[in-house]
């Protein structure tokens, strides 16, 4: 049985200890503290009773013992903070979407960690314990990772099912884009290759990720390509694979200008795939530019539709875009003039051109840019009524 001992000193202070008797000797279990006032003494006695209750679950004979009333900061140690609520919240979202059916808690823990603090897989294992108190062995990653590839198809099916049930997703509009992920190494392999890096890490090997999302932004499909793959070459294979897997009868895909080419537009039409793809008006022919300049009405909301080899080119005008484009063009021209007046070694920028050894303004490009101020273009193979409908729901 544990007991409380009070030792009074000449100075008026009182020491409080917890002890027990072993072999007829008093054994001090814990020194609770020293009180100098009656209030401090009462607090120390409460802490002593709490300590006895905690380590022995010992019941007290008298009701006047009040445990758990105070915390003596001097008797406590800071252990750390766990973000358990965040982990619980994201875990419930994972269950709501249906990803718990993957039956891989380790992988899902890494996903949660990726949301709160993106890091390498091995670093994430350390952070899981630091943030949530969840422990996974480092070796577990090496043992588990190869099997995760088999979960790709099931993961996409779960995401598509959720989108259809909760967002009435019916494949009528999907968005497609790609990005690059680089590796902290300089050694390449069959997948990790050097290429155009969106992270400005072209000296390091990377992979190319193609992602397809619903109009609500929910990821529904992805593919991984070697890092030196041209992003435009991923467009058709990924979309066709998605259509075949989900038995899609009609689909409209929205993508940026890097995805359009004569080859891609032909393939899209041959496979009955509708598309709305950004157009790089800076690359159009002079004849098409002249036609746009002569036809478009430069008022907000006005647009024109012109047939091209890549589908119909829909051009719209915006006064807000005009002011933005004009401001950026003038800044670039100013820098170009400065470079022409003070030529530097091996330096070139937009709106400049070389004439022999002399650098001069590219007036032809400036004139072309002026004609396109405030104009945005999109290629589409949808008829006008359908395209307008998609604009409304977007």
Q: What is the pLDDT of residue 135?
A: 94
- Residue 333 phi/psi, 5° resolution? -65, -40
User: The dihedral of CA 234, 101, 137, 147: what is its sign?
Assistant: negative
Q: What is the pLDDT of residue 70?
A: 57
Long-range pairs for 119-126: beta carbons < 8 A, 24 or more residues apart: 120/184, 121/145
Question: Measured in whole angstroms, how far is the alpha carbon of residue 379 from the centre of its chain?
Answer: 28
pLDDT along the chain (394 residues), means of 10: 90 92 90 90 89 75 54 68 93 96 95 92 93 93 92 95 92 92 88 90 92 93 94 93 91 91 90 92 92 94 91 94 96 92 76 84 94 95 66 44
Q: What is the pLDDT of residue 314?
A: 94
Q: What is the pLDDT of residue 392?
A: 46
Q: Are strands 303-308 and 219-226 parallel, antiparallel or unpaired?
A: unpaired
Q: What is the pLDDT of residue 72?
A: 61
Which are the contacts of 369, defined by CB distance < 8 A and separation ≥ 6?
Answer: 282, 325, 329, 351
CA neighbor of 133 nearest in space, from 82, 85, 86, 60: 82
What's the Rg (C-alpha) of the chain?
34
Rounded-to-integer distance, Cα 246 and Cα 170, Å: 11
Q: What is the pLDDT of residue 186?
A: 86
305-322 burial, b for 16+ CB within 10 Å, e for fewer?
eeeeebbbbbbbbbeeeb
CA neighbor of 226 nearest in space, from 199, 194, 184, 179: 194
Q: What is the pLDDT of residue 393?
A: 42
DSSP conformation class of 58: P
Neighbours of 382 (CB within 10 A): 17
169-318+374-393 adopts what CATH topology? Transposase Inhibitor Protein From Tn5; Chain A, domain 1 (3.90.350)
CA neighbor of 172 nearest in space, from 390, 9, 392: 390
Q: What is the pLDDT of residue 394?
A: 43
DSSP notation for 214-248 = ETT--EEEEEEEETT--GGGGHHHHHHHHHHHHT-
- Residue 376 phi/psi, 5° resolution? -120, 140
Which are the contacts of 19, defined by CB distance < 8 A and separation ≥ 6?
Answer: 2, 3, 5, 26, 27, 28, 29
């Amino acid at each position: 049985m544990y007991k409380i001992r009070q030792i009074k000193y000449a100075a008026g202070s009182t020491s409080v200890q917890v002890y027990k008797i072993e072999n007829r000797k008093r054994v001090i279990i814990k020194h609770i503290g020293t009180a100098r006032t009656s209030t401090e003494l009462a607090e120390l006695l409460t802490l002593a009773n709490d300590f006895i209750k905690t380590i022995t679950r010992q019941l007290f004979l008298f009701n006047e013992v009040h445990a758990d009333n105070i915390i003596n900061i001097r008797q406590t140690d800071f252990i750390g903070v766990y973000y358990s609520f965040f982990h619980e919240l994201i875990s419930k979202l994972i269950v709501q979407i249906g990803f718990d059916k993957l039956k891989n808690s380790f992988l899902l823990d890494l996903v949660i960690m990726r949301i709160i603090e993106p890091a390498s897989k091995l670093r994430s294992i350390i952070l899981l314990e630091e943030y949530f108190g969840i422990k996974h062995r480092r070796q577990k990653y090496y043992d588990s990772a190869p099997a995760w590839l088999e979960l790709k198809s099931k993961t996409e099916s779960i995401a598509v099912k959720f989108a259809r049930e909760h967002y009435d997703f019916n494949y009528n509009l999907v968005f497609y884009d790609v990005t690059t992920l680089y590796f902290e190494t300089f050694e390449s392999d069959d997948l990790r290759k050097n290429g155009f890096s969106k992270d400005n890490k072209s000296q390091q090997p990377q992979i190319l990720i193609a992602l397809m999302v619903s109009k609500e932004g929910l990821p529904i499909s992805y593919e991984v390509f070697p890092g030196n793959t041209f992003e435009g070459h991923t467009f058709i294979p990924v979309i066709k694979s998605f259509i075949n897997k989900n038995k899609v009868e009609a689909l409209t895909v929205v993508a940026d200008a890097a995805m359009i080419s004569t080859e891609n537009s032909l393939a899209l039409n041959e496979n009955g795939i509708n598309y709305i793809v950004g157009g790089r008006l800076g690359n159009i022919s002079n004849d098409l530019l002249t036609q746009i300049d002569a036809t478009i009405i430069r008022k907000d909301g006005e647009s024109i539709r012109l047939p091209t080899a890549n589908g119909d080119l829909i051009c719209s005008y915006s006064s807000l875009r005009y002011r933005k484009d004009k401001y950026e063009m003038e800044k670039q021209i100013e820098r170009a003039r400065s470079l022409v007046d003070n030529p530097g070694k091996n330096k070139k920028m937009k709106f400049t051109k070389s004439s022999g050894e002399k650098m001069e303004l590219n007036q032809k490009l400036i004139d072309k840019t002026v004609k396109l101020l405030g104009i945005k273009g999109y290629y589409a193979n949808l008829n006008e009524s359908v395209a307008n409908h998609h604009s409304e729901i977007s």
